[in-house]
Amino acid sequence: MFTNVTQKFTQRLLPLALVFTVVGGMGGMALVAYFAPNLVEYFASSSGSSTRQTEFYPAPIIRAP
């Protein structure tokens, strides 16, 4: 009997869960798209000076004797 009730409850909630998943995903993506430029700028500015990132130190050449 318990499995019967669970199955009926699940069948009724499945379409509603799908709607919430789709709407929640769309809302989440909208928030990401809205805040993305600010987040990129924030992480780029907080990662340190830009000169340190662009410096290039080549590896020394090791020659066999």
- What is the structure's pLDDT at 29? 92
- What is the structure's pLDDT at 3? 84
Of the pLDDT bands very low, low, confident and very high (cuts 50, 70, 90), residue 21 is very high
- What is the structure's pLDDT at 60? 78
CB 47 within 8 A of CB 53: yes
Predicted confidence (pLDDT) at residue 50 exceeds the cutoff of 70? no
CA angle, corner 51, sides to 60 and 53, nearest 5?
Answer: 60
Residue ranges per structural domain of the chain: 1-38
Predicted confidence (pLDDT) at residue 53 exceeds the cutoff of 80? no
